[in-house]
Structure 1
């Protein structure tokens, strides 16, 4: 193999990652899998596409060694191969937001939605939550919370929030977060909380962004061990 042929091979192999990621839905599936292992059916429901199309997208991601699968009976479950894939998603999204004017306009529009953004970085949020100055509220599905969440966060999925408002004190502000900057569940939660007189804001970072910054995460098993 000539030097040119070897270089072409190297670049082509790297391009496999780019080709696998070159789909809006596959990027969304990666973000969903950042939250933890999910079945094909659950991924299809979360991404609002058919199971058949979801399987086809996952096949592309698997061929690029970005995800891996396991079978449980008739069901297939997928997960990211490692943390580098989550970091790749954060870096790719950040680069796109820095370079693309259309994306910047869309993110500004998103920022103008219900509730203000929490005026603090992750480390400060962690400090205030530790002191009890505010409530960190994880509004993702409970299974996602169990697989990894921000320290001191309480879990109330957004679809249960209206019936569980009594669990939240009204004398402290609430900071709600979900899967990341493009997730709409925190916006919905802030709107619900505001309707009931609870001061709330949104925190854009999800667990991928939080971990990328080197900040700690907790799992439900960690909390159980701490109380035993």
Structure 2
């Protein structure tokens, strides 16, 4: 008869196996921003609805996502903020131990921002003193589902046309989907080119929320 340790490890392996697909990791990233329908996820990850549904069933079996039905539509969301923490830990381990991840980070991310990023605690303190303007550089539906308090939403392709509406007397802190999301990097470059003081938040909205920091919400997805 298998030992209790063996049985527990089998359950742990179920979660580990569910993370072996880059498509499923991408699905989890999108779900960390907002609840989404199967059709939405299918378009975002460039897979057929059938393939997307299959990946979601694997994630559901591992208890990483949950589903609700609205008529014939199915909406998926993460089962908890701990899933975001799991992916963050997974990512951090890869950054430390996989040479190719380090190379990609150096080539595509680190060189984009030569200034030190601001961490969540510093942003909380500075926002309480009204010292910064916070920009959320994500699509509107993700912003509506949840965002940092008092953040201004500017879509990724609108930064140049809306830049004149921002005040230069405050430093601007921009964030997007997470540490690998390029929206914030691009926004900061555009802002600095126009003479603004700008930095990025060290991580993105999912990590902020998972840490238990305050979040504002404009609407409930799918309602």
Normalised TM-score (structure 1): 0.84
1:9-28 CA distance string (max 9 Å, x none): 33222211011111111111
Q: Which residue of 1 aligns with 2:147?
A: 149
**Aligned ranges for residues 60-139 of structure 1 at < 5 Å?**
60-139=58-137
Residues 138-187 of structure 1: CA deviation (Å, up to 9, x unaligned): 01112212222223321112133233223311332222110101112112
Residues 1:185 and 2:169 aligned together: no
Q: 2:31 — aligned with what? A: 33
Query: 8, 11, 16: which one pairs with 1:10?
Result: 8
The question of whether the paired residues in 2 share the 8 Å contact of 1:111 and 1:117 is answered with: no
Number of aligned positions between the proteins: 219
* TM-fit CA distance, 1:137: 0.5
Q: Residues 130 and 77 of structure 1: is their aligned pair in 2 closer, same or farther, counting only changes over 3 Å? A: same
Partner of residue 162, structure 2? 164
Q: Which residue of 2 aligns with 1:54?
A: 52
Contact 1:130 1:152 in 2 (8 A): no
Gaps of 5+ in 1: 222-228
Secondary structure of 2:164's aligned partner: helix
Q: Distance in 2 between matches of 1:52 and 1:190?
A: 38
The DSSP-based 3-state class of the residue aligned with 2:147 is: coil
**Relative contact order: is structure 1 or structure 2 higher (C-alpha 8 Å, sep ≥ 6)?**
2
Structure-2 change in CA distance of 1:102 and 1:5 (3 Å): same
TM-score by length of 2: 0.86
Counterpart for residue 203 of structure 2: 205
Contact 2:137 2:156 in 1 (8 A): yes
Q: CA RMSD in A?
A: 2.3
Q: Taking structure 1 as reference, are residues 186 and 44 closer, same or farther at Cα in structure 2, changes over 3 Å only?
A: farther
The range that moved more, 212-221 or 200-209, is 212-221
Residue range with higher mean Cα deviation, 163-172 or 179-188: 163-172
- 3-state secondary structure, aligned to 1:157: coil
